[in-house]
């Protein structure tokens, strides 16, 4: 089988992710309608925004006959997990540059190793150099012919796969849906948000909840990934719901996320979708969403990362 037919096989496993209406007393009280797009169920091997972002990167790697794939992430990285699974399916070797100490019993890394990913552990100081041209050149020398993918898969080639979410909504669901006022999602490196902005319908605003602390740089990064975003006033970032920082949250916030998951009947993890959805509910309670609005929350997946982190 040719490499591209492996990609097509992987592509065929994708199904339009379900759209669910959510019910909660707070929504009634504020006269809001909320749906959730369950991208956690988008693909059986590579869930959520990872499949959307990696889709065309993987195709490019195959058409360029890359020798392998190399990328960066933390010890619970959804991105490295997805990349390892994809490499395994496509017959491409993968290397993960992991921030931190070797963890022997972390399920994310165990899966990655099982799928053949070579893990190289680096300390925080070295990891900070992940965009540094000298280090990237050294990695390319050590792994000749590999496609080097930025952390989180966020690069211009990630955008078209994310943009397809709108088409999926129109084709599969829109006829039954009224127009949406706002799409809400968790944001870390900004690639998913940039991809959504690249095909945003004029009548739907996009609001990203940053899951990292001190993300003042994020708007600029979104504009670097998708320059027309700088002239688009139909989107905004919420920077105040980081819960203490990336992958951090107080016991009270974790309990609140667990309670929300139960009330809404949707699985949530505390790092991305749980944190952002809690932020959305808190902002609704604070009256920051206009009555009568129709909202869509994007569940970006990442449930695998919660296995060892909780």
Q: Which residues bind ligand PLP (CB under 6 A)?
A: 48-49, 78-79, 152, 154, 186-193, 272, 300-302
- Tokens for 79, please give them: 């991105």
Q: Which residues pair with 98 in a beta bridge?
A: 73, 121
Give 62 or 277: the residue with its C-beta nearer to ligand PLP. Answer: 277
DSSP annotation of 160: H
| Residue 47 near residue 301, CB atoms below 8 Å | yes
Q: Are strands 205-210 and 118-122 parallel, antiparallel or unpaired?
A: unpaired
Residue 226 Cβ vs ligand PLP, minimum distance, rounded to whole Å: 12
Give 33 or 195: the residue with its C-beta nearer to ligand PLP. Answer: 195
Residue nearest to ligand PLP (CB): 302
Q: Distance between CA 300 and CA 126 in Å, rounded?
A: 28
Q: Distance between CA 207 and CA 229 in Å, rounded?
A: 13
- The maximal CA–CA distance of the chain, rounded, in angstroms, is 59
Residue 197 Cβ vs ligand PLP, minimum distance, rounded to whole Å: 12
Residue 301 Cβ vs ligand PLP, minimum distance, rounded to whole Å: 5
| Residue 147 near residue 42, CB atoms below 8 Å | no
Give 94 or 154: the residue with its C-beta nearer to ligand PLP. Answer: 154
Residue 152 Cβ vs ligand PLP, minimum distance, rounded to whole Å: 4
Give 52 or 59: the residue with its C-beta nearer to ligand PLP. Answer: 52
- Tokens for 157, please give them: 């080639």
Residue 186 Cβ vs ligand PLP, minimum distance, rounded to whole Å: 5
Give 56 or 272: the residue with its C-beta nearer to ligand PLP. Answer: 272
* Residue for token pair 């609704």: 284
Give 17 or 192: the residue with its C-beta nearer to ligand PLP. Answer: 192
Q: Distance between CA 3 and CA 10 in Å, rounded?
A: 11
Residue 158 Cβ vs ligand PLP, minimum distance, rounded to whole Å: 7
Whole-angstrom CA distances from 5 to 9, 250, 297 are: 6, 46, 33
Handedness of CA 78, 84, 90, 93 (dihedral sign): positive
Angle at 304 between CA 299 and CA 305, to 5 degrees: 90
**Phi, psi dihedral angles at 142 (to 5 degrees):** -75, -25
Q: Distance between CA 32 and CA 53 in Å, rounded?
A: 30
Residue 79 Cβ vs ligand PLP, minimum distance, rounded to whole Å: 6
Residue 100 Cβ vs ligand PLP, minimum distance, rounded to whole Å: 17
Give 34 or 42: the residue with its C-beta nearer to ligand PLP. Answer: 42
Q: Distance between CA 56 and CA 183 in Å, rounded?
A: 23
Give 83 or 295: the residue with its C-beta nearer to ligand PLP. Answer: 83
């Amino acid at each position: 089988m040719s490499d591209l037919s492996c990609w097509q096989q992987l592509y065929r496993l994708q199904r339009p992710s379900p759209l669910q209406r959510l019910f909660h007393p707070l929504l009634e009280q504020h006269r809001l309608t909320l749906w959730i797009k369950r991208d956690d169920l988008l693909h059986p091997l590579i869930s959520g925004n990872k499949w959307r972002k990696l889709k065309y990167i993987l195709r490019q790697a195959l058409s360029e006959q890359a020798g392998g794939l190399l990328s960066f992430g933390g010890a619970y990285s959804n991105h490295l997990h997805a990349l390892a699974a994809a490499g395994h399916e496509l017959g491409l070797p993968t290397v993960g540059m992991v921030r931190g100490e070797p963890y022997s019993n972390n399920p994310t890394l165990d899966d990655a190793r099982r799928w053949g990913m070579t893990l190289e552990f680096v300390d925080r100081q070295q990891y900070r150099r992940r965009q540094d041209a000298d280090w990237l050149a050294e990695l390319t020398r050590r792994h000749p012919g590999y496609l080097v993918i930025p952390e989180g898969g966020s690069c211009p080639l990630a955008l078209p796969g994310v943009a397809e979410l709108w088409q999926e909504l129109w084709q599969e669901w829109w006829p039954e849906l009224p127009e949406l006022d706002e799409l809400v999602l968790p944001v870390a490196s900004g690639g998913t948000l940039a991809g959504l902005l690249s095909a945003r319908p004029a009548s739907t605003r996009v609001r990203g909840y940053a899951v990292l602390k001190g993300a003042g740089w994020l708007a600029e990064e979104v504009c670097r990934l998708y320059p027309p975003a700088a002239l688009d006033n139909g989107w905004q970032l919420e920077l105040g719901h980081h819960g203490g920082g990336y992958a951090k949250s107080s016991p009270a916030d974790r309990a609140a996320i667990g309670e929300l998951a139960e009330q809404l009947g949707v699985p949530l993890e505390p790092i991305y979708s749980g944190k952002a959805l809690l932020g959305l509910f808190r902002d609704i309670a604070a009256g920051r969403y206009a009555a009568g609005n129709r909202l869509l929350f994007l569940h970006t997946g990442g449930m695998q990362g919660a296995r060892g982190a909780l």
